[in-house]
Amino acid sequence: MIKIGVIGAGVMGGHHIRNLASMNVELVGISDIDKKRISELSNTYNTKGFLDYKELINEGLDAAVVAVPTKLHKEVCDDLIENGVDVLVEKPIADSIENAKEIIDNAKKFNVKLSVGHIERFNPAIQKLKELIKNDTLGKIVTMSSKRVGPYNPRIRDVGIIIDLGVHDIDIMSFLLEEKVKTVYATGGKRMHLFEDYATILMTFGNSCTGLINTNWHTPHKVRSLTIVADKGIAEVDYIDQKLVLYDKEWEKDAKIEKREPLSIELECFIKYLKKDIAPPVSGEEGLHALEVAISAIDSYTNNIIKRI
């Protein structure tokens, strides 16, 4: 049985712990600097708790989930990789392009498996949409537009909205098209946050399709949606309700979706990746590309320029 640990027991780390505790793996332990949090979670899920993640590494882990603040990803990932521990690191892969590249290179050097936690790929509605795109149900995609807005969460302090939320849609659009972003132009600003708290991002891809992302922390109602316009029809995704609606010249149809928690699917895919010689659910290079585009978007709105990736 795979021995796995979770480093970082905040909101996202807590969800990882809850899911892994019910899966066919051995949850060896969890780590966080919050003593009370670790005590509560380790008791709830009958596992060991550590204030120092290096003590958790010494428990003989096969793999670990890294859910610490982004600025700590490089340090924690390196310690795991250099001890031969496979890694699932939460998005974004790192706080800088340089650190992301070093994580990827280090994983290759030590022959360690690495995946990045871009959870929206595992939303059942997105998985169904990906299937329809591959089957040419929609035809040639012309434009994609997303809306990811809602109230501000005070726990997000170390990054702005583009890195925290916009990076989801950057990755999803690349994933659905199987194309990298070629150019990016963004507008944005800050009204209440140290970093940008609203942004609009326009991207072009190698196949001439365009993608538009609208994201902010100012809207009282939470919306997570994606619209794809193609030459055979239109697809609309509601991430929260896991709903996919298709429109063509004759019909409006709801796709049949089996609703599940995306994180559970993501972890199942990661565990399968650990057991078999298959591609990672989300590769380090894919995580790097999403980060590169996000950082380019920040540079674009800051300096009012078009960035080529």
> Over its length of 309 residues, how does the chain's per-residue pLDDT go in tens digits?
999 999 999 999 999 999 999 999 999 999 999 999 999 999 999 999 999 999 999 999 999 999 999 999 999 999 999 999 999 999 999 999 999 999 999 999 999 999 999 999 999 999 999 999 999 999 999 999 999 999 987 777 778 999 999 999 999 999 999 999 999 999 999 988 888 999 999 999 987 799 999 999 999 999 999 999 999 999 999 999 999 999 998 899 999 999 999 999 999 999 999 999 999 999 999 999 999 999 999 999 999 999 999
pLDDT at 207: 72
Q: Where in the sequence of the chain do the CATH 3.40.50.720 domains occur? A: 3-112
Residues 163/165/170/173 CA torsion (nearest 10 deg):
170
Prior bond of 92 cis (ω within 30°) = yes
Alpha carbons 282 and 261: distance in angstroms, whole number:
17
Task: Name the pTM for this structure.
Answer: 0.95
The CATH class of the 120-260+291-308 domain is alpha beta
Strand order in the sheet with 86-90: 48-50, 26-31, 3-7, 63-66, 86-90, 114-117
pLDDT at 192: 83
CATH of 3-112, one of 3.40.50.150, 3.90.1640.10, 3.40.50.720, 3.10.290.10: 3.40.50.720
Beta-carbon-side half-sphere exposure of residue 53 (alpha carbons within 13 Å)? 25
- Residues ≥6 apart with Cβ < 8 Å to 53: 7, 31, 76, 79
pLDDT at 206: 82
86 forms bridges with which residues in the sheet? 63
Helices (H), 113-205: 124-134, 161, 167-177
Alpha carbons 101 and 98: distance in angstroms, whole number:
5
Q: Where in the sequence of the chain do the CATH 3.30.360.10 domains occur? A: 120-260+291-308
CB atoms within 10 A of CB 40: 14
Residues 153/185/116/5 CA torsion (nearest 10 deg):
-30
Alpha carbons 17 and 13: distance in angstroms, whole number:
6
